[in-house]
Amino acid sequence: MAKTVRLGNRLRYPITVVRLLKQPGNKIKKQEPLMEYSFKWVKEVGDSIRGDTWEEEQTTIVNWASPSDGELTNWHIREGQKIVMDRIAMEVVEECSHEIQYQGLCAMCGKDMTEVNWATETRDTARAPINMVHDHTNLTVSAIRAQRTERDLQRRLLESRKLSLVVDLDQTIIQACIDPTVGEWQQDPTNPNHEAAKKIQSFQLDDGPSDLARRCSFYIKMRPGLEEFLKTIAEMYELHVYTMGTRAYAQNVARVVDPDKKLFGNRVISRDENGSIFSKNLQRLFPVSTNMVVIIDDRSDVWPRNRPNLIKVSPYEFFKGIGDINSNFLPKRHDLLTSGSAAKGTKKDKKITSEPVAGGDDSTLLKQQAQEQEREFEKQINDRPLQMLQEKLDREGEEAEKATVQSDDGSESRASSPPPQRHHVLQDDDEELKYLQEHLASLHRAYFAEYDESQASQPASNNDVLAQVPDAGRILSDLKIPVLQGLKIVLSGVLPRGIDIYSSEIGLQIISFGADLRPKISKDVTHLVVNAAQPGRDKLLEARRRPHIKIVSQEWLAACFTQWAAVDETPYLYTSRIVGEHGTAPGGIPSEEDEDDDDEEDEEDDDTDNADGSGSKTRRLANGKPLKLRLLSSSANGQASGESGDDTDLEPGLLPDELPDGSSSPIDGLKTFNWGSADEELAEFLASGSSDDDEDEDGIDDEEDEDEDVDDAQPEPLSANDSSLLTTSPTAGTKRKGRSSDDEDDDDNDNDVDTVAVETGGVNGTPAKRLRRTQSQRASSLRNEYVAGAATATASDRGDDSGLPTPSRSEGQDGDTDGQKPAELGEQEASGEGDDDELEFDDAELEAAFEAGFEKEAAELEAQMVADAALEEGAMDVEKG
């Protein structure tokens, strides 16, 4: 193989080739002079002490030494040539290309590759940089070699119609623990766990990571159905073990799982050979192409570069609370989907904080982690967590039994023999592998279907067989995406605050299954996934108000991920109440229906309110005049006059505590509310107008930005039934008037008022809602200004509501919210699009009014400023005087 050799960067260019010492055909050795060249340089000569120096140009002739062994075939330079920069000098055919190296030795010619030579710029060891053998780190190959090996592998796999499957051990196909209790349970037939413990196999590491690990037994529980699973899968996949345990551990486990070495052979890679202590990397085994590789692992965060090829399985937890005994070497996991493990996760959290961040010195870090693991081992051996668990279970069981016995027959003492049905900690009820087998089989089918298709379409010569190998990662995602497609999922209480849901483990998984992950609840959300242990309050409350949102526990998500199907939500529905939720109707259904659609507005109004609030505060500071926040919120709400906007604490359950003592509850009105008619109305409304709303919603928003201003005051379609509901508002309003105006929560509720009204009138009153939303988005810009002016006006006692440049219609609207709603408004709503024109018209009017208000205000301000300035000047004059 010819190799081109360059002159190198170290020569003092420009140079002139003086003589070629070797001719093509000659054998050359490293460091042997091959040619002579000359270069010019400047030397300072003379007496440097007296300063009597001058520069003289010198010419020096040097030998150029060969950087390479072999036979010289061709010179690319000739005698007398002037060379100004590094370039190719010659071609050499090497005897050995040193493509495979073992611990610094070329495995093909036996030469020592670590020799450093002054004639060469690169080291020979760099010629074989890739480490792709499972069980040795010191055998390296060159890129070309790796490619060739991999091509052979792929060809062989394709012939036998197999794929490669990289299998993780801990918590994926087995679970290990070192709690000696397991051994005792195995010995003791009376123990309730004996049955389950019988199937546990154990080994001792003779070269364990530490003294302690050497002494203790490792108990290995295979995942139920593992043998069958592996046997079936091995026909479709070539299996590799990739674990973060030590080599000895991995081999022992492989021996337990696969005693004949039929499945894994010696394709076992462990932490010792991994090269990285933080992550696994398919490129370690398949440096060139991962197109035919699939991974099963219970953790996806350890595969940062190979996520597409990964099938994440739910962790196998047979020994409760033990987790992964090799997890110390991995970053902390926060992808657990079972609520039960949340507590464990937090515990780990604390521990992890003491760990140094990645990127430190690997050896010390490794040592530290090994110590950590040892501590953990020691703890497990001493504490015997399983025994403790069992004792706890026993105690609970006894108590329960005692209770029943006593209730049955108080005088009877407990039976002397232990109860026959003792609870046991070890439960072997995992079904993951069953599903996993199906998934892998279907992936295999899909893969080879595609492969056959591509083969049929263009029969390929042997060489480009590999060019058309389908990508297993892509096919995997093609299979996964339809699973939850179309679902729009919101998470609540599942992830810690401050974590980006889209980059979180669960988030990525949700997305990988084709579902749409949403940060907030909105109208089209279909599922709210809550952490049953600690549900998030706000989103849950919001979702409760929308009957079409299914509120499910995390286990539903886990089940979907396991089964690759949108499983029936019914068993996973989250029904329990949370604190502060009282006041909702039982089952939450009627009131939910009632308030179905307003949540979105709540949120957005919230934001704008806040913005308004802060804005107005600063403004107040600037002006030196107090502004009324209350007014702001009300105007944001819809230009209702201060009173009518404020008084709307109709949201049941949200803020019950804020009602002043003794006052009538704002939901009193609901008690007499005629739900039946509301339902009818809802049904009618849904039937009539909801179909097109969803479609044009996005598009129309912008156009309607203009309209929205009016819309605040837009009358809500109210049916006759609502009067009872609305009558409550004035009382609530009057009560609340006295309260401090900067209460954000109040603002929140204020917004709810009119939305509640909407809902009661005709649920899904989409146009109105849409308008309101856009309005609230806008409220932060123009409206703020305007409002400030209005507020100042009020503050300066000039203005009652007349300071508000509300169009004439708003009078009537104010009236509405106060409880007298003209029927025509309902009609207007019903007419749907028709009122848009009208709105536009109003808009212009309103804007004019704005303008007027503005100018007025501006003028006033200016006057004020001038006056102030004059005063100041006067003061200064006085001082000067």
Partner 1 sequence: MFFLHNLERTVTLHPSYFGRNMHDLVTTKLVKDVEGTCAGDYYVIAVMDTFDVSEGRILPGNGMAEFTVHYRAVVWRPFKGEVIDAIAQTVNPHGFFAQAGPLRLFVSAHLMPDEIKYDASATPAQFTNNADMVIEQGTHVRIRIIGMRAEVGDMWAIGSINGDFLGCLQA
Q: For binding to partner 1 (CB under 8 A), which residues are involved?
A: 100, 102-112, 114, 133-136, 138-139, 141, 145, 149, 152-153, 156, 160, 260-262, 265-266
Of 123 and 392, CB closest to partner 1: 123
Residues in the chain: 881
Encoding tokens for residue 387? 């025994």
From 69, 168, 750, 816, the catalytic residue: 168
Least distance (Å) between residue 519 CB and partner 1: 49
Quote the least distance from Cβ 108 to partner 1, whole Å.
5
Judged by CB, which is closer to partner 1: 104, or 799?
A: 104
Q: What is the DSSP letter of 573?
A: B
Q: How far is the CB of 235 from partner 1 (least distance, A)?
A: 13
What is d(CA 464, CA 466) in angstroms, rounded to the nearest whole number?
A: 5
**In terms of Cα–Cα distance, which of 761, 651, 644 is closest to 713?**
644
Active-site residue (options: 69, 124, 170, 746): 170
Give least dist CB 261 to partner 1, A.
Answer: 6
Strands 88-93 and 70-75: antiparallel
Q: What's the closest the beta carbon of residue 110 comes to partner 1, in angstroms?
A: 2
- Closest approach of Cβ 148 to partner 1, in Å? 9
Q: Integer distance in angstroms from the first to the last C-alpha of the chain? A: 101
How far apart are CB 124 and partner 1 at their closest, in Å?
A: 12
Q: Which is nearer to partner 1, 102 or 850 (CB)?
A: 102
Q: Angle 794-709-692 (CA atoms, 0-180°, nearest 5)?
A: 150
Helix (H) or strand (E) holding 606: helix 599-623
In the complex, minimum distance from the CB of residue 284 to partner 1, in angstroms, rounded to a whole number: 14
Nearer to partner 1, 44 or 159 (CB): 159
Work out how close the CB of 106 gets to partner 1 at its nearest, in angstroms, rounded to a whole number.
Answer: 7
Cβ 685 vs Cβ 754: under 8 Å: no
Handedness of CA 690, 691, 692, 696 (dihedral sign): positive
Distances (CA, A) of 452 to 160, 162, 290, 464: 13, 13, 19, 14
Residue 465 in tokens: 């067989």
Sequence-distant (6+) residues with CB within 8 A of 685 are: 762, 763, 764, 765
- Select 265 or 590, whichever has its Cβ closest to partner 1: 265
Nearer to partner 1, 139 or 533 (CB): 139
Minimum CB–partner distance for residue 95 and partner 1 (Å): 12
* Cβ nearer to partner 1, comparing 133 with 494: 133
Compute how many other C-beta atoms are within 10 angstroms of the C-beta atom of residue 832: 16
Peptide bond into 14 cis (omega under 30): yes
Helices (H), 667-707: 668-671, 675-703
Strand 237-242, strand 163-167: pairing: parallel
Q: Which residue, chain included where needed, has tokens 């530490």?
A: 210
Closest CB to partner 1 among 145 and 625?
A: 145
At 414, list the tokens. Answer: 């407990």
Nearer to partner 1, 124 or 170 (CB): 124
Q: In the complex with partner 1, which residue's Cβ is closer, 269 or 793?
A: 269
- Cα(373)–Cα(357) distance, rounded to whole angstroms? 17
What type of residue is 670? L
Active site residue 211: no
User: Which residue do the tokens 């006067």 mark?
Assistant: 874
DSSP 835-876: HHHHHHHHHHHHHHHHHHHHHHHHHHHHHHHHHHHHHHHHHH
- Does 170 participate in catalysis according to the annotation? yes
Distance of CA 338 to the CA centre of its chain: 17
**For residues 110 and 98, what is the distance between their CA atoms, to the nearest angstrom?**
9
Residue 133 structure tokens: 């053998």
Structure tokens at 722: 């609502």
Q: What CA–CA distance (Å, rounded) separates 426 from 186?
A: 12
- Active-site residues, by number, are 168, 170
